[in-house]
Amino acid sequence: MNNYRRVVVKAGTNVLTSKTQRLDQKVIARLVEQLALLHKEGIEVLLVTSGAIAIGRQILDYNLSSRDVPSRQVLASIGQSHLMHIYQECFSKYDLRVAQALITKEDISHRQGYLNIRNTLNTLLEKRIIPIINENDVVEISEIQENIIGDNDSLSALVTNLVDADLLIMLTDTDGLYTADPKQNKAAQLINKVSVFNEEINKLASTEPNPMGRGGIAAKIAAAKLVTSSGSTAVIAPGLTPNVLMKIIQGAKIGTIYLPAGTRLESRQRWLIRKMSASKSISIDPGALKALKTKTGSLLPAGVTKVTGSFDRGTIIGIKDDTNNTVGCGIANYSSRDLKSIMGLHSRSIMEQIGHSFGEESIHRNNMVVF
């Protein structure tokens, strides 16, 4: 079995409806059963799910040819609560708790929003709660528009990078990536492995949307490229194949696997170092430095001795020792103003000192690189 610690699973509309116009609750039940088994094996799982608009259509018996944005937002608002209720009932059979997260790409692209969502998802996973994630269709107009495809494929890739997942599994109604469109060319062959995104791979992308969902193989290729460039693995696999998730985890040749361009740590290090501000930093005492180099804990306010520069929460700042040498970098959990007020204090004093708290860490371990 592969050593996957954290896995994001994306289930598309065509999988959840069994390629029909109605949600297939048996498919959802089988999907949840597989996720519960992974959870039991100690693997942290996050589910990015489509299907809200499909359920809305089903409930209202809505004309499937209607694709205007306001109508689809109404369908999403109706279907989302029903979809979540179905998931809650299915997961409860395995005594598992779930939490809903409706987010938009703008939330993730905003620095503080990125940090808030990341911390929330990480906390849920720490508490053994399974996040169920969907794009917030009710407010995200661009995501629903007919000419924008691959939203939840793209979202699943962003979530994978957001929580540093080891693996993204995109469940779809095809067997994977083919050398040609298998619906039009019977000689098309399944590509089992992609290690380099060359022009040949890019040409295989089809941007034709389907009537129920909005994704296509092009969106999945783009999502796989984003994930692998950050050091994680991606798989496009047939979602209706029995026990497909466990088969992938166990290393079976199923679907198309996209290999990472480098290790996840290397990719994250490059990203943090590249984005680090040269003029914004915090200095730490020798005890905190020793703890960072020998342990796996976070950097707490008690170890901070100096704050340099003005920055907002979510800024990537440098970490310096008492001789002003840069020893690391990370995403600030507090603004420079807040850090100046709480540096040197015990974490339990944060709320009393500044009137709010974003957690006990100045920089969380998951958001930090130590050189």
Please choose, from the candidates 311, 287, 313, the residue with its C-alpha nearest in 3D space to the C-alpha of residue 300. 287
Q: Which residues contact 304 (CB under 8 A, 6 or more apart)?
A: 282, 283, 284, 288, 339, 342, 343, 344, 362
> What DSSP element (H or E) covers 178?
strand 177-178
Q: What is the CATH number of domain 268-370?
A: 2.30.130.10
The Cα angle at residue 296 between residues 293 and 298, in degrees rounded to 5 = 95
pLDDT value, residue 66: 53
Residue 54 neighbours by CB under 8 Å, 6+ apart: 13, 16, 17, 21, 22, 23, 79, 212, 213
Identify which of 30, 47, 39, 86 has the alpha carbon closest to the alpha carbon of residue 243: 30
Contact of 330 with 316, CB cutoff 8 Å: yes
Residue 162 C-beta-side C-alpha neighbours within 13 Å:
30
Q: Which residues contact 65 (CB under 8 A, 6 or more apart)?
A: none
Supply the angle between the helices 217-229 and 151-162 in degrees, to the nearest 10.
10
Rounded to 10 deg, the angle between the 25-40 and 69-92 helix axes is 50
Q: How far apart are CA 199 and CA 201, in angstroms?
A: 5
Instruction: For residue 317, give the nearest of 109, 123, 111, 161 by alpha carbon.
Output: 111
Fold that domain 6-262 belongs to in CATH:
Carbamate kinase (3.40.1160)
Domain ranges across the chain: 6-262, 268-370
Contact 333, 313 (CB under 8 A): yes
For 298, the token pair is: 């976070």
- Packing angle of the helix pair 69-92, 52-60 (nearest 10 deg): 100
Distance between CA 187 and CA 181 in Å, rounded? 9
Output the pLDDT for position 205: 62
Describe the strand order of the beta sheet including 316-320 as a list of residue ranges: 304-308, 281-284, 316-320, 326-331, 368-370
Residues in a beta bridge with 46 = 8
Read off the pTM.
0.77
Go through 116-146 and write b for each residue having 16 or more CB atoms within 10 A of its CB, e for each that does not: bbbbebbebbeeeebbbbbbbbbebeebbee
Instruction: Quote the DSSP letter at residue 310.
Output: -
AA letter at 228? T
Q: φ, ψ for residue 93 (rounded to 5)?
A: -65, -20
CA 334 remoteness from chain centre: 23
* pLDDT tens series, the chain, 371 aa: 578 999 999 998 889 998 777 889 999 999 999 999 999 999 999 999 988 888 888 888 766 555 667 777 888 888 889 999 999 999 999 999 999 998 876 677 677 788 889 889 999 999 999 999 988 766 655 544 443 334 688 889 989 988 989 999 999 988 988 888 777 888 888 899 998 877 777 777 654 545 444 557 888 888 898 888 888 999 999 999 999 999 999 999 999 999 997 776 666 777 788 788 878 999 999 999 999 988 778 999 999 999 999 999 999 999 999 998 899 999 999 999 999 999 999 999 999 999 999 999 999 988 898 88
Q: Give the span between the Cα atoms of 285 and 292, in whole angstroms.
A: 11
Query: Contact at 8 Å (CB) between 268 and 164?
Result: yes
Q: SS3 of 91, please?
A: helix
